[in-house]
Amino acid sequence: MPDQRALEPVPDLQITSYLSDTETEEVVELVERVTQTDGLHPLSEHVWLHVRHGGDLHDQHFLLRSAGVLVGYAHLDTTDEVAGPSVELAVRPQHRRIGIGRALVQSILDETPGEQLRLWAHGEQLAAVEFARSLNFKNSRVLWQMRRSLRASLNEPKLPAGLRLRNFDPEFDMNAWLAVNGRAFVDHPEQGGWQLADLERRMNEPWFSAVGFILAISDDTGEIAGFHWTKVHGATGQAPHAHEAIGEVYVVGVDPAWQGTGLGRALTLVGLHHLRDLGLGQAMLYVDATNDPAISLYTSLGFTRWDTDVLYQRDAR
């Protein structure tokens, strides 16, 4: 993500929900030029696939041209009503530090008034830090995206004694799950602070599937000992995605009373088997770069680091 200063001259801005073939070619050429110069791809794989296929239902594309040449591009994804809109952008190398990136982000802020806005950067670059701070974005977190093939060998899960598996039941499990989630992530303000409304919002998302929300239940008490909530990106019935569906280890949580028993590893494997049984070829997950125990676990399960995402966030105003 480049650092921009004063904008001169003012380029022409175009906002569209779908890219024509010509516009797609323009963006592809711009992104490839940025990648060649920086040695880093400015867009996530998910966004890049959408760009090359014209877009997705909830995409907005911001194109800035100067003298007929595309000098800046931003992608706005509005699908996540919970976390808020997210932005990724690219600026032609020879047009940096003249305000192109600033103009793009300001245009997006104008299009999303009153909403929390997330700005993603790939690779931890000083220019990105300076640029984000200049627009009142704060460094929220650094995430590793890790992936593994579901076609590779996958160990069988071994649940601790006294536990059984079943699917999440929205009618009976919501409050009990919230309590376990709060205990499991007591030191994680985003995840551990969920209320009923937070859970219901996600249950109303098109990707939600109770079959992919797996609970470990104590035979003695009937209480939830842990869970693995899986997610599928680009599945049939969701908003169309221009790429092969991929599974995600969305959230794995273990009640403190069961931590240290191997339940987290077992539940992760249970979810991976579920995703493979759906016919998916790959699984992904996000993990905080500072979470050494989780990274060690996922590495031992065949995941490798795929990319680094830095999240900058500007609160709603």
**133-141: Cβ within 8 A, 24+ apart:** 134/3, 134/102, 135/102, 135/105, 135/106, 135/314, 136/314, 137/312, 137/313, 137/314, 138/312, 138/313, 138/314, 139/310, 139/311, 139/312, 140/311, 140/312, 140/313, 141/288, 141/310, 141/311
Residues present in the chain in total: 317
Domain segments of the chain: what residues?
12-141, 152-280
pLDDT of 205 reads 84
Contact by Cβ (8 Å): 150, 277: no
pTM of the shown model: 0.70
Query: Could you tell me the fold of the domain covering 12-141?
Result: Aminopeptidase (3.40.630)
- Per-10-residue mean pLDDT of the chain, 317 residues long, equals 48 91 96 90 81 80 96 91 87 93 94 89 80 89 91 97 98 97 87 88 89 98 98 65 79 96 98 97 92 94 89 83
Per CATH, 12-141 and 152-280 having the same topology is answered yes
For position 217, what pLDDT does the model report? 98
- pLDDT tens column, 48-107: 878 888 777 778 999 999 999 999 999 999 877 777 899 999 999 999 999 999 999 999
**How crowded is residue 76: how many other Cβ atoms within 10 Å of its Cβ?**
23
pLDDT at 3: 46
CA distances, 197 to each of 121, 263, 268, 274 (Å) = 29, 28, 26, 27
Task: Give the pLDDT score at 243.
Answer: 52
pLDDT score for 10: 54
CATH of domain 152-280: 3.40.630.30
